[in-house]
Amino acid sequence: MARITRMRRLQSLQLSLPSQCAAGRPSFAAARAISTTSPSQGKNTEWIRGKLWKGEAPGPADPYTQRLEPETTSNLPEEALESRPRQDKTPAAVRDTRLALPYRRSEAPTEKELQASDPTYVPATEAEGLEEIGPLSTWWEQPGHWGEESAFKGFGSSDKVVEREVLEVYLRRAVVEALALQQTGVFSEWATKKWSETGSRNELEQALALQIEVQDGKATLKGDASSVVKTLTSELSEAESAEKISVEEAKEMIKSWDPSWKNIALDNSLRFALRKRLYQLTGTLLPDAKLAAASTTKHILTLASRDPKPLKLAQMLEKRNAFNELTNVTVHDRRIGAIDKEVSVGRWKVIEEELKKRDLPVTGYGNAGRNKERDWLTGKI
């Protein structure tokens, strides 16, 4: 009969043997500082750590032996800790702002608490004299909650010029001012700055009085350009009421000019300056995509001016006086409804009073919405 070979005792059985002396077992606090790693496991761990890290490995070999750092404790009594001021976590931008921010939400003390702190307190019986604070939804619409620095200050003119003749006058003024800055040598300094513009008629006539001589696409000014530069580079003052030019005046001015000034060749800096100045004077802003294609002042004038809107049929007939001789024909610029017919006859006031007596809507459906039958069929009502 074959014998079973005696197997060698496993080393792992030694770890699973119970302790012979339970009384000598260390406490839990002391066991935290004792490593449970066997010498053989420690060697394997060091070998693996050496393969993973080049040089000395960071941290302890047995991370379970690390003790937690004790929490920072204060020797102050609890009353002192409670009375210590809390740290203000408000952002610096909100804390240092000049705007009138809404009040923080707070709860008013009760009547008993007020009487305990102030024996002379008498509750109010009327709301007269109390400060009224509007709701949060309308806070920024109330006066005084916005500062002057937050008020919108537009660059372009608020009164937009549409007529082509008037646009041509202001474009010539912009060309004269840009050439004056170039001749005095301060164009590079003032190209990106805001030019002074008070809207007075004298400044316009002063700029248009200079003559423009064009030769091979290059323009030069004939006259005293220093006065124009002095006006442009002066300190910005409050905008005066600009005196607009009529179309008839603009046509008379255009007749006295040589049309060769429209053939001035433009580079990038001059093109940008004309576009900026024209927007400041007329409120017409040329888009960047179209401005890049403009190579002369005539191109800028073509892009800035727009064709007027075509007249409606009723306006055309009224302008021609087509049906003035016919007493039974009336031309309207909109559709005439049933109410308009009743108003023209004089019956609408009577109809309106009768509808109000019966609590019926004068116009529209009132409280009754549309598609009531569909709501009945679907069970919503």
Output phi, psi for 126, to 5 deg. Answer: -130, 155
The residue ranges of every structural domain in the chain are: 164-304, 314-364
Question: Is-contact 161 308, C-beta < 8 A?
Answer: no
Q: Is the sign of the CA dihedral 289, 293, 296, 300 positive or negative? A: negative
**pLDDT > 60? residue 14:** no
**What is the amino acid identity at position 311?**
L
State the Cα–Cα distance between residues 266 and 217, nearest whole angstrom: 9
When pLDDT is averaged across residues 202-211 and rounded to a whole number, the result is 86
**What is the amino acid identity at position 140?**
W
- Please give the model's pTM, rounded to 2 decimal places: 0.53
If one counts every other C-beta atom within 10 angstroms of the C-beta of residue 262, the result is: 20
Q: How high is the pLDDT of residue 179?
A: 92
Which distant-in-sequence residues (6+ apart) come within 8 Å of 184 by Cβ?
225, 226, 229
| Better-predicted residue by pLDDT, 57 or 199 | 57
Collapsing DSSP states into helix, strand and coil, what is residue 56? coil
Collapsing DSSP states into helix, strand and coil, what is residue 300? helix
**pLDDT > 70? residue 81:** no
Q: How high is the pLDDT of residue 19?
A: 45
| Better-predicted residue by pLDDT, 163 or 85 | 163
**pLDDT > 70? residue 281:** yes
pLDDT confidence bin for 46, thresholds 50/70/90: confident
Residue pLDDT, tens place only, 244-278? 788 899 999 999 998 899 999 999 999 999 999 99
Q: How high is the pLDDT of residue 1?
A: 46
Nearest of 171, 175, 163 to residue 305 by alpha carbon: 163
pLDDT confidence bin for 57, thresholds 50/70/90: confident
pLDDT confidence bin for 223, thresholds 50/70/90: confident
Which distant-in-sequence residues (6+ apart) come within 8 Å of 226 by Cβ?
180, 184
When pLDDT is averaged across residues 34-38 and rounded to a whole number, the result is 47
Mean pLDDT of the chain: 79
Question: Is-contact 196 234, C-beta < 8 A?
Answer: yes
**pLDDT > 60? residue 109:** yes
Residue pLDDT, tens place only, 295-347? 999 999 999 988 778 888 988 998 888 888 888 888 888 899 999 999 999 99
pLDDT confidence bin for 22, thresholds 50/70/90: very low
